[in-house]
Structure 1
C-alpha cells in the first residue's frame, strides 16, 4: 500500500513538520490544502509554490494532490479563474493533480440540474487541464445534501464527454459508505482517501466529517475491505489519510498513532480476517 498523508489530518503542524512526518511514516507523497484559512494556515504556510515543491522533493516525497476548488460544478467566471490559478500553482509546485469538490449545501442536486451543471463544468475544465498537462481529481461527496454523490454518475459523464484522460475520481472510504457503496472504478481512481467512523451511536446518514478518525479494529466504514478490493482490482495509487475529527487533528503523538493505524490496515490487507 502506497501511504500518503493529507494535510487536514494534522492541520496544526507547520508545513515543514507535516512533510517530515510524512517522510518518517514512509509515505510516497502528500496532499496540500488551500482551505485552512480558519486555522490561520495559508497554502504552503505562505511559501512560494516553487519553494514548497523543493521542500517536498528534498524529503523524497511527491506532491500527489493540491486542494481545492469549491464548488467546481457551479460554473462561472470566478470558478474559471480559481481553476486556472490552482492549475498554475500546481504546475509551479510540481503537483501531480488538483482537486475539484462539488457543491455540498443542499442546492443543485435536483435530477437533471445536477447532471447539467456537472457537464458544463467538466467540459469547460477539460481543455484547461489538457493545455497544462494536468489531471484533476473529482471527489463525489456521499452526503445526502451533495450535488454529486455517486461515482457512476460522474464516470458516465466523463465517458460521454470523452474527457477521461484529464480526470480521475477520488475514492473516499467515508463518502463511498455514505453513498451506499456501489461499484469500484480502480482504472479511473486517482487517489484513495481513508478515515474511520467508530461511534456506534451514529446511523450512516448522521455521519459527518467531524466523526472521521483513525482506522482501527472498531472501524464502521470497512476501510480494509474497500482498500483490499481496489488493490485486488488493480489500483496501485496513493492511499491518503484524511481525517477531520478535532480529536484526531489534535493527536499528541501523530507519528506513533498514524504508524500504528497504517500498520493495522496493511496487516489486515496482507492477511484478511476470515
Structure 2
C-alpha cells in the first residue's frame, strides 16, 4: 500500500489463530499495527493472555497495539458497564494499546426515544472520559450502520463529544461497511482515529439485509467503495491506521489467509494509486 498508509490487522481476520500466531501473521505481511479483541474463543481479552505477555509479543514483532475491540453497548451506561470499561482500560494500559473501541447498542429490543437516547450517549461519554484518562488511552466511538442500531450517525457522535468538550479523549472509527450502510455522506477525517475496512461482493443482497457475514476482504469486485472512502479520508487529512476487519466465514476458513490478505493489500494499494493519478 502507499508508503504512508499504516496497514493494520484486526484479529477478526483470522479468529482461529492465537495471539502469537496472529501477531506473526501481521508482522509477516509488513503490518505496523494490530487490534486485539475480547469476543473471540472463550470471550477473554487476547485469549486470556496477561497484558504484559501481549505487550512483549507485540514488541518482539515490532507491532503497535492500536486498540482493544471492544466495549459493547457502551451507550447503555450502567454500573456494570463502568466496571467492564475499567477492566478493559486497565488491560489496555498494561498491554500498551492506544485505545478502546466503543460499540453502541445494536438491538431491536432497545429503542429509547430520541432525546433519551442522545442523553444516554452523553452520559456514557461523561462516565467513560475519566476511566480512559486514568489509563492514558482514547475512546474510539464506532457508529454502526444497521437500521436497528442506537448510534448510526457519526455526526450525532461528534455533536455529543463536542457538547461535553471531550474532543481530546474521543475519536471516531470509520468503518467502511457501516459507513456504506448508514448512508451518511460526511467522512469526518479530522475526527477519525481508526479506519476499519472490509468488502462486500454479493450483489443479490439488499442494502438493509447486509450483515457481518457478508464482509469479505477488499478485492476487485468490492461494491462499497473502500478505495473511494479511503481516498476521501486521506484528502481530508487522515493519516492514521487502516485496519482489515472481515467477518465472513469464507475468509476465516481460508487455508492461505496470508496470501489472501497480501492480495487484498496489493489490490487496495493499486486502487489508491490509480485514484491518486487521476
- Place the TM-score, normalised by the shorter chain, in its bin: over 0.9
CA shift digits 1:156-214 (9 cap, x unpaired): 11111100100111000000000003211111111000001100101111100000001
What residue in structure 2 maps to residue 139 of structure 1? 142
> Could you tell me how far 1:40 is from its partner in structure 2?
3.7
Q: Does structure 1 conserve the Cα–Cα contact (< 8 Å) formed by 2:65 and 2:96?
A: yes
Q: Does structure 1 conserve the Cα–Cα contact (< 8 Å) formed by 2:143 and 2:153?
A: yes
What residue in structure 2 maps to residue 57 of structure 1? 59
What residue in structure 1 maps to residue 159 of structure 2? 156
What residue in structure 2 maps to residue 81 of structure 1? 83
Structure 1 distance, partners of 2:194, 2:202, is 26
Q: Does structure 2 conserve the Cα–Cα contact (< 8 Å) formed by 1:109 and 1:148?
A: no
Moved more, 171-180 or 43-52: 43-52
> Could you tell me how far 1:108 is from its partner in structure 2?
3.1
> Could you tell me how far 1:67 is from its partner in structure 2?
1.6
Pick aligned residue for 1:10 from 14, 34, 45:
14
Aligned residue pairs: how many? 272
Q: Which runs of 4+ in 1 moved over 6 A?
A: none
> Could you tell me how far 1:41 is from its partner in structure 2?
5.9
Matched, 1:68 2:70: yes
Matched, 1:169 2:172: yes
Q: Does structure 2 conserve the Cα–Cα contact (< 8 Å) formed by 1:66 and 1:97?
A: yes
Partner SS, residue 157 of structure 2: helix
What residue in structure 2 maps to residue 262 of structure 1? 265
Partner SS, residue 183 of structure 2: coil
Structure 2 distance, partners of 1:2, 1:227, is 12
CA shift digits 1:40-73 (9 cap, x unpaired): 4632222210011110111010000112111111
Matches of residues 109-258 of structure 1 in structure 2 within 5 Å? 110-258=113-261
Structure 1 distance, partners of 2:256, 2:112, is 41
Where structure 1 has 5 or more consecutive residues not aligned to the other structure, the ranges are none
Structure 2 distance, partners of 1:130, 1:42, is 23
TM-score normalised to the size of structure 2? 0.95
